[in-house]
Amino acid sequence: MSIRKHAFRVCLAAMLVLPTGGALVAESPSSVVPNTPAVIFDTDMGSDCDDAGALAVLHALADAGEVRILGVIFSSGKNRYGVGTCDAINTYYGRGDLPLGQYKGTDVGDPKDSYTKRIATDTKAFRHDIVDEAPDLVSVYRTILQSQPDHSVTIVTVGHPHGLVHLMRDRRAAELVRAKVDRWVAMGMGGWNFQQVGMSAYSEELLKKWPMPFYISPSGVDVKTGHRRLPKTPETNPVREAYRLWNTALVDGRSSWDQVAVLSLLRPKLFKLEHRGHVERTPEGRVVWNPDVDNPNHHLVTPRIPAEEMARIIEELMARPPKARVVAGQGRAE
């Protein structure tokens, strides 16, 4: 039986003893640096392995006190197992009680799946308790946002951001976005996240109606990670398993679009900002940065360091051992 039944407990402050005899240990509030960003992570986990890598980076930086993770949203409706993989990763890092939400529709999402079913259904190996079902994403967003201080939450999307359209269509959720959200950081441009597998029906509405500051990160194709340190992590690491199953990523590496987007928020000194311009959708459907027409809410984020240096930083974070995670029969693992 699940130890939480989707309970929405945003902050973990105590040890939870699991039925298996292991333990789930979260960082104490004192380990969090004051004024750290509070993040809701929105992903299409399963389309590519860099989503798993980005969630690993986020957890590593949470272990370091550089960010608070408020919850994880799975945005791809055609693959039901991404939410279970998110839970497996959260559990590996000792945050198995993070709120989880998922999209209940099937009009958006990549039906292909190279790793999420394998990970989500193996609850024995990865010690998580969610497989393919979590509450609707709008209800989870609302629950998280209403408990946070005004203008304190960053939404990071590394998948199809149609969930933000559904937020703005919901009157109460739209009020909470305007009151609670500080910024939206998105991996995007080009054709995939804002255009493919059903997203094209939402992108124009999103770009026109999103009311808060918007930072877009298109970089990462030349930042190859997952093949240096990650293979040396335990086989019970679901991030390692995602890279093992996704083509040859654990051997040859994979582009790091999503990890770069996460770092653009949490390590801003590594990036440069272009403030004049705006994100727009062309008549052909591509999403691009137009420097000639300004929207003061739109910002383009690109790295200021070489790709190889960025890759080393990301790889170290992806492979960093969790400060607290579940180990059956052994209690806390350092």
- Could you give the number of structural domains in the chain? 1
Please report how the helices 307-319 and 50-63 are oriented relative to each other, as an axis angle in degrees rounded to 10: 70
Answer whether residue 112 is part of any domain: yes
**Token pair 């392995």: residue:** 49
Does 29 map to a domain? Answer: no
Q: Is 98 part of a structural domain of the chain?
A: yes
Distance CA 265, CA 217 (A): 10
- One-letter amino acid for residue 55 of the chain: L
Write phi, then psi, for 199 (nearest 5 degrees): -70, -25
What confidence score (pLDDT) does residue 33 get? 58
Residue 250 CB-half CA count within 13 A: 18
Task: Flag whether the pTM goes above 0.85.
Answer: yes
Report if residue 65 sits inside a domain: yes
Residue 53, pLDDT score: 98
Q: What is the pLDDT of residues 55-100, one digit of tens each?
A: 999 999 999 999 999 999 999 999 999 999 999 999 999 999 999 9
Q: Kindly state whether residue 138 falls inside one of the protein's structural domains.
A: yes
- Give the dihedral sign, CA 293/157/69/153: positive
Query: How many Cβ atoms from other residues are within 10 Å of residue 169's Cβ?
Result: 12
* Domain presence at residue 223: yes
Q: Would residue 11 count as lying in a domain? A: no
Bridge partners of residue 68, in order along the sequence = 38
Structural domain includes residue 8: no
3-state secondary structure of 73: strand
Record the tokens describing residue 314, joined without a space: 């990301």
Pair of tokens at residue 279: 């994100």
Tokens of 173: 């959720």
Question: Structural domain of residue 150, as residue ranges?
Answer: 34-319
**CATH number for position 119:** 3.90.245.10
- pLDDT by residue (tens digit) across 225-248? 999 999 999 999 999 999 999 999
Closest Cα partner for 180 from 31, 40, 29? 40
